[in-house]
Structure 1
Amino acid sequence: MSATVSIASRPNALWLALSKNRLSWIGLGLLLLIVFTALFAPWLAPHDPLQQNIAYRLEPPSAEFWLGTDSYGRDVLSRLIYGSRVSLLVGFVAILIAMTIGSALGVLAGYIGGWLDRLTMGLVDVLLSFPTLVLGLMIAAMLGASLENLIIAIAITEIAPFVRVARAPTIALKQRDFIEAGRALGYSPLRLMGVHIVPNMISDVVVLGSLWMASAIRTEASLSFIGLGVPPPTATWGSMIREGFENILDAWWLTVFPSVAILLTVLALNLLGDALRDAIDPKLRSD
């Protein structure tokens, strides 16, 4: 019964948190705008993002090219729009993989305990001993530059926080009366974990996922900047900044606009994550 009440009350708590936190509406609006742009990129982009025209090389922002052109004569606005697809795809899929694997390991370690818990947390401590970007750089360099390898590299770097967040409430929940009642009724550990424990701690994992998706997008941009992201000529925000870095003094728009896109996306995810956190934790709700 407690699990049912908890789940049913979450939409109301989320709406209350959004109503009290006006900045969260800005984050939600920005995120929806970015997602809309990514979904409808073929219709919104004014030019082909891969079409080169040396005659228009390094054109400043104008009526024809709203955000200017790059060193190959490609439209920056079109590449920026298509780049949102890669950033959101990498961020979402990488965090989804990390969330699934990390939560499963955390629940198993917290519920079973013993040697499995010690082994899991030892591996987590090893992963957390490396900075996220450095660990992602090492993995991406070993796997090679591709979209799939980039997602795998970022997902591995983000597993550890989800293990910790899933493990802590699992340890507390397995001592609760409704779990003890389930054991008395003969429920299997798999059923207790999947049906009774996971629904009561998944909200914490979702909040962490929204916040770490911003980190995943930053990591993707950083890896793309140093050439370990999606291979060219595919447009990504990180690779666009890298291409414009060589002409930063003569063509400022090449680095400024992709940087602003990353900033707005990360800001939107952080604002929305704060609202989700307020909805989950009553102690953090605004008065």
Structure 2
Amino acid sequence: MTDITATEPVRPGGLWLSFTRNRLSWVGLLLLAAIVFVAVAAPWLAPYDPLEQNIVARLEPPSAEFLLGTDSYGRDVLSRLIYGARISLFVGFVAILIAMVIGTAIGVISGYIGGVFDQIVMGVLDVMLSFPTLLLGLMIAAMLGASLENLIIAIAITEVAPFARVARAPTITLKQRDFVEASRAYGCGPLRIMFRHILPNMLSDVVVMSSLWMASAIRTEASLSFIGLGVPPPTATWGGMIREGFENILDAWWLAVFPSFAILLTVLALNLLGDALRDASDPRSR
């Protein structure tokens, strides 16, 4: 009886039940929801304008007036931290969405066609995977220049290869299944088979991994902003705030510590959520 149950397909209700049974999944979900709420409600939650300068109050430590202190231009750190969440979440979400669409399409097409075409595509992807994510993003961002759009493009390109790898493996298995052969015999074309029959059967794996790689995208965004290849100032970004605080780390520790802690919480929430989704979608873990 146990073996029969283990081989049955996972229903959405069972997937949700497996997800909710994991206590850490709730921690990640609630923490991420709180961060998203802060980013969306930034105009109402931020006590000051994140770009407003007050030279008289520059480098003020955390106090009742400025809860997280001020930077070298007298700008409120808390307000900039709240608005910086918008940039980090937007860049991470859009970059991963672009990478997921392009990478999944490449993986499905390459795995379905196979042969020499598959070898050439996988060879190119292997070259991309041979570079560390940050180094590849650094090279692309340096060539394109510092801007929000170029930052998203650079991060998206670095994540295309992993998505293609994840999509290719199940495609090779699924294209040999009976329902695909039946569709082919019925007269369905390759594009219809790939994106109507194969893609829906492996999309859950791609979506689960996207939550984990979004954390990587946020780290990459912070790293590129730290070295000056992210969103140009004075726009508030967590990586840019850490860079500004690094110059005053001994005199004004709060400038770098609080943005670093915000990145830590966001990456932790995404990793907890991604691990819970991966375990819930894996029949062996249940």
TM-score, L = length of structure 2: 0.96
Partner of 1:16: 17
Partner of 1:92: 93
List aligned pairs for 1:229-248, cutoff 5 A: 229-248=230-249
Partner of 1:197: 198
In the TM superposition, structure 1's runs of 4+ consecutive aligned residues that sit over 4 Å from their partners are none
Q: CA offset at residue 122 of structure 1?
A: 0.6
Q: Secondary structure at the match of 1:282?
A: coil
CA distance in 2, matches of 1:284, 1:218: 28
Q: What is the percentage of aligned positions where both structures have the same residue?
A: 78
Deviation per CA, 1:178-210: give whole Å up to 9, x if none.
001111111111111111100000011011100
Deviation per CA, 1:156-194: give whole Å up to 9, x if none.
000000000000000000000100111111111111111
Q: Is the 8 A contact 1:14 1:275 kept in 2?
A: no
1:137 has 2:138 as partner: yes
CA distance in 1, matches of 2:153, 2:20: 37
Q: CA offset at residue 12 of structure 1?
A: 1.7
Partner of 1:75: 76
Partner of 1:267: 268
List aligned pairs for 1:207-218, cutoff 5 A: 207-218=208-219
Q: CA offset at residue 17 of structure 1?
A: 2.4
CA distance in 2, matches of 1:128, 1:143: 20
Give the AA of the match of 2:231. Answer: V
List aligned pairs for 1:245-256, cutoff 5 A: 245-256=246-257
1:121 has 2:90 as partner: no
Give the AA of the match of 1:259. Answer: S
Give the AA of the match of 1:141. Answer: A
Which structure 2 segments of 5+ residues have no match? 1-7
TM-score, L = length of structure 1: 0.95
- Mean Cα displacement is larger for which, 120-129 or 16-25? 16-25
Give the AA of the match of 1:267. Answer: L
Q: Secondary structure at the match of 1:257?
A: helix
CA distance in 2, matches of 1:133, 1:127: 12
Q: CA offset at residue 13 of structure 1?
A: 3.3
Deviation per CA, 1:33-69: give whole Å up to 9, x if none.
1111111110110000000001000111111111110
Partner of 1:159: 160
CA distance in 1, matches of 2:281, 2:217: 23
Q: CA offset at residue 19 of structure 1?
A: 2.2
Which structure 1 segments of 5+ residues have no match? none
Q: CA offset at residue 111 of structure 1?
A: 0.5
Deviation per CA, 1:70-127: give whole Å up to 9, x if none.
0000000000000000000000000000000000000000001112211110111000
CA distance in 2, matches of 1:276, 1:138: 32
Give the AA of the match of 2:185. Answer: A
Partner of 1:49: 50
Give the AA of the match of 1:230. Answer: V
Q: Is the 8 A contact 1:277 1:284 kept in 2?
A: no
CA distance in 2, matches of 1:162, 1:182: 26
Give the AA of the match of 1:228. Answer: L
CA distance in 2, matches of 1:18, 1:101: 28
Q: CA RMSD in A?
A: 1.1
Q: Secondary structure at the match of 1:260?
A: helix
Give the AA of the match of 1:15. Answer: W
CA distance in 1, matches of 2:174, 2:43: 48
